[in-house]
Amino acid sequence: LLAMREDERGKLVMETLEGNRGEIGPALMNRLSRTEPVLQKSNISAMTAIVPAKRVDLFGYAEFAVFNAGRTVYVPLYLGVNATPTVLVDGTLYRLSKEREIGEEMEAFEAELGREREICEGRARGVLVEEGEDACRRELTNGCLRLATRVKEFLEGERGLS
């Protein structure tokens, strides 16, 4: 059962979700957030939450756009981290997003970042089995720091796609 508001935004969201049954994931939701009328000029941030079936406390994560979703990339952050990357909370990514127009390379970069996130999660799941929860949290924390750093470098124009 899916209920949606009865306006242009609601219709777009409903049609998009119904047309992508079985394929709904962060990339689709992030792309939808960048589509008018969902995307508004007044939007200053966006978030897509991912809730896994098991160990939500570790492997649940959100992807954050810390500026207007049409002008920045989404940054993943796991619930299991011990610390939040500084660039996510000190305004760095917001400032860089505000200063730079991002073109077509945005979705390609996010796809690459998504693959890196999957590798990070895979490592953390292995560490959980081999070394326990504390080591898993450290691995997730370090992984999220690497991902946030990649986003910062991308927004600075220092390092694009690999």
Q: What is the pLDDT of residues 60-74, one digit of tens each?
A: 999 999 888 888 899
Task: Give 47's strand partners.
Answer: 64
Does a structural domain hold residue 82?
yes
Q: What does the mean pLDDT of the chain come to?
A: 89
Does a structural domain hold residue 58?
yes
Does a structural domain hold residue 86?
yes
Domain count of the chain? 1
Continuous segment of H or E residues that includes residue 154 = helix 133-156
Continuous segment of H or E residues that includes residue 71 = none
- Return the ∠ at Cα 54 (arms to 29 and 109), rounded to 5°: 35
Q: Report whether pLDDT(160) > 70.
A: no
Cβ neighbours of residue 38 under 8 Å, at least 6 residues apart?
A: 9, 12, 13, 32
Indicate the pTM of the whole model. Answer: 0.84
Does a structural domain hold residue 24?
no
Does a structural domain hold residue 141?
yes
> What's the average model confidence in pLDDT over 125-146?
98
Does a structural domain hold residue 162?
no
Does a structural domain hold residue 9?
no
Measured distance CA(162)–CA(154) in Å, rounded: 11
Range of the domain at 88: 44-156
Does a structural domain hold residue 139?
yes
